[in-house]
Amino acid sequence: MEDQSEASRLSASGYDVAPIGEAEREDLAGDLTAEERQVILNHGTEAPFCGTLLNNKEGGLYACRLCGLPLFRSGAKFESGTGWPSFTEPFDPDHVREIRDTSHGMVRIEVRCARCDGHLGHVFPDGPPPTGQRYCLNSVSMEFVPEGEQPPRRLDRQEAPRE
C-alpha cells in the first residue's frame, strides 16, 4: 500500500500536485483536440499571435487544460510582444516544473505542469520586474478561469485551495 505522504503532496496553496499516472493522463487526454494533443502531450508549439488567451485582459487565473491545476494569475500576465501569453511568475512555484530543453539546436527551459506533465511552453530570463522572468506559454495548454470561479476539478482528489 502506498504511503499517504507519497499518494498526495500539497502545494503551499493547498492543491494536490502529486504526479498522475500514465493511465489517468491518457484518460484526461481523451477530449483534447488534435492541436491540444500536439502541444500538451508532444511538446509542440502553437502558431504565434493565434492563441485564444493572448489578448485576454480579464481578472482570474489560468489553469492546466489537461488536469485543471491553477498555473498563473492574470495579475502576473503582461504583453511581451512575442505572440504568446506571457507571465512573470506562476500561481504557485510547486505547480510548474522547469526542465532543460536542448531540442531544435537551442538550450531553453521548458515549463510543464507539475501534476500531469503537460507541456506549457518555455521560461526566459528577459521578463519585466519584479521577477525578470518571461513564462512564454501556449494558449491551448491552459484554460482561463474568471475571478470568483473555481478551477475545473478533473481529478478525484481531495484539495483545499487557499487563495
Query: Phi first, then psi: what are they for 79, rounded to 5°?
Result: -85, 110
8 A C-beta contact, residue 161 and residue 14: yes
Taking the C-alpha atoms of residue 21 and residue 30, their distance in angstroms, rounded to an integer, is: 15
Taking the C-alpha atoms of residue 135 and residue 47, their distance in angstroms, rounded to an integer, is: 16
8 A C-beta contact, residue 18 and residue 24: no
50 noted as active-site residue: no
Question: Which of these, 22, 4, 23, lies nearest to 158 by C-alpha position?
Answer: 4
Query: Phi first, then psi: what are they for 111, rounded to 5°?
Result: -115, 130
Query: Phi first, then psi: what are they for 60, rounded to 5°?
Result: 155, -150
Catalytically annotated residues:
136
